[in-house]
Amino acid sequence: TRTSRPQRILKAVQTKATVGDPQSVITAIDHFCRHREWAMNVGDEKGSILDSVVNEVSPVTVLELGTYCGYSTVRIARLLPPGACVITLEFNPDYAAIARQVIKWSGLEDKVQLVEGASGDWIPWMKEHFGVQAFDLVFLDHWKERYLPDTKLLEECGLIQKGTVLLADNVICPGTPDYLEYVRNSPHYNSQYYRSHLEYTKVEDGLEKSVFLGY
Ligand SMILES: O=C(NCCc1nnc(-c2ccc3[nH]cnc3c2)[nH]1)c1cc(-c2ccc(F)cc2)cc(O)c1O
Ligand SMILES: [Mg+2]
């Protein structure tokens, strides 16, 4: 049977990128998705904004919701100092299997914990299972209707503390209206929109950065 799009992305990494070189993995995926087949990676344009936020926050613990093929996982992990790590949650086992291989090819497996399962099931266990006190940075890039309920769940579980930064992809396309309304109107968040484009296209999209101000 036909290969899947994630399998074709992995093949592009394995034929075009150098083992242990995260930048070459990022470049290979962006080239494939721009010139061969569109895919829902955060991409190079929004990816540069993600990089600048990671560098600004210098996080020790990062939560990524929605791994897909591991493109943004590699973007984040390549910027982390020794001892820092990204926990990334993926619901789809086929995506997770590809992402593990992409992350391994980039040589960043020591900085990444890939967890397979639903965000709603896993978030309540993060403290106990991973010894996480609170996240310094959360990158939301999973099902768009999960952004708001999962943000509220992270708050309830004490995984968001004063200074935690939430960075949300796709707030315009496909769009996350209820999440945007919440973080922009809540007195507990300082929110900022970074205008950009949907990955590999001219369609408007952007990232929303929201800093938790405490209770
Ligand atoms: O759906 C998206 N991303 C989500 C994938 C995912 N990968 N993992 C999950 C997960 C992970 C844990 C979960 N726990 C509970 N649900 C979960 C879902 N979700 C997405 C879609 C588009 C897009 C734009 C325009 C179009 F015309 C078509 C598509 C663009 C993007 O940048 C996206 O990120
Ligand atoms: Mg996205």
pLDDT tens sequence across 197-208 = 999 999 999 999
Average confidence (pLDDT) over 156-185: 98
Q: For ligand 1, pick from 92, 121, 143, 146 the residue to mutate: most ligand atoms within 8 Å of CB.
A: 143
pLDDT tens sequence across 179-199 = 999 999 999 999 999 999 999
Average confidence (pLDDT) over 11-25: 99
Q: Is the CB of 32 under 6 A from ligand 1?
A: no
SS3 87: strand
Average confidence (pLDDT) over 162-182: 98
pLDDT tens sequence across 46-78 = 999 999 999 999 999 999 999 999 999 999 999
Residue with the nearest Cα to atom 32 of ligand 1? 40
ipTM of the complex: 0.97
Ligand 2 centre from 38 Cα, in Å? 12
186 or 1, which is more confident: 186
Ligand number nearest CA of 168 is 2
Q: Which helix (H) or strand (E) holds 147?
A: helix 147-156
Among residues 127, 141, 172, the alpha carbon closest in space to that of 68 is found at: 141
pLDDT confidence of residue 1:
78
pLDDT tens sequence across 70-121 = 999 999 999 999 999 999 999 999 999 999 999 999 999 999 999 999 999 9
Among residues 160, 146, 175, 169, the alpha carbon closest in space to that of 211 is found at: 160
Among residues 114, 110, 82, the alpha carbon closest in space to that of 97 is found at: 114
Could you identify the residue written with the tokens 């101000």? 213
Residue 141 has pLDDT above 90, yes or no: yes
Could you identify the residue written with the tokens 């309920």? 149
Average pLDDT of the chain, as a whole number = 98
Q: Which residues are annotated as catalytic?
A: 141, 144, 169-170, 199
Ligand number nearest CA of 153 is 1
Strand 165-168 relative to strand 204-212, pairing: antiparallel
C-alpha to C-alpha distance for 212 and 206, rounded to whole angstroms: 19
